[in-house]
Amino acid sequence: MDTMQPTGASEELIPPTMPAVYLPTHPYVKHRKSGPSTLVYRADFPTPTPTETQYLIKVQAAAVCRGELEWPHLLHRRETGAVIAHDICGTVLSTPFTDEHLRDGPKFKVGDRVFGLIEPSRDGGAANCVAPEEDELAFKPQISLR
C-alpha cells in the first residue's frame, strides 16, 4: 500500500487511492446516453488532490440524479472517466490552502458536516472523497430526534 500524506489543514492522513464508481471514457459513446451497465467499480481510483480553492470531503452519502448518465458531453472528459453522484453529504477533511492562514479562516473547518452539489464537469461523490469548491457546499442541518 502507498504511504498516506496529509493535505491542507487536515490532521487526518489521506490515502493516494480510493474505491470509486465511475463512467469510463469510451470513444464511441461520447455523445450518446450511457446506462447503469456502463458504470465501473475500481478499488484504486486516484484520490482527488484539492486545488488552492477546494475542500477535501470524506463522503458519507451520495446520490445520482435522474439525468446524470445523460450528460456524456460533461462526464466523458478525460482518460480516467468520471466519478458519478454529484449530490453529496460528508465531513471536511481538509480546507483550501488559500484560506488556511487568514484570520477568519475558511468558511468550513476540518470536521464540519456539509452537503452540496458538485459541478457536473468534475468528479462526483460515488467515492470515498470529493473535492468541491466552497460555493458548492452548505452546512448540514443538525436535526434532533428527541
**pLDDT tens, residue by residue, 34-45:** 667 778 899 999
By the 10 Å C-beta count (0-12 exposed, 13-18 middle, 19+ buried), 41 is classed as: exposed
- Rounded to two decimals, what is the model's pTM? 0.80
Domain ranges of the chain: 14-138
Cα separation, 112 vs 72, whole angstroms: 33
What is the pLDDT, as a whole number, of residue 71? 61
The residues near 62 (Cβ < 8 Å, ≥ 6 apart) are: 85, 86, 87, 88, 89, 124, 125, 126, 130
Q: How many CA atoms lie within 13 A of 58 on its CB side?
A: 14
Cα separation, 89 vs 137, whole angstroms: 9
Average of pLDDT values for 84-88?
94
pLDDT band at 127, cuts 50/70/90? very high
CATH architecture of 14-138: Alpha-Beta Complex (3.90)
What is the pLDDT, as a whole number, of residue 40? 87
Q: Which of 146, 42, 115 is nearest to 84 (CA)?
A: 42
Q: Is the pLDDT of residue 108 over 80?
A: yes
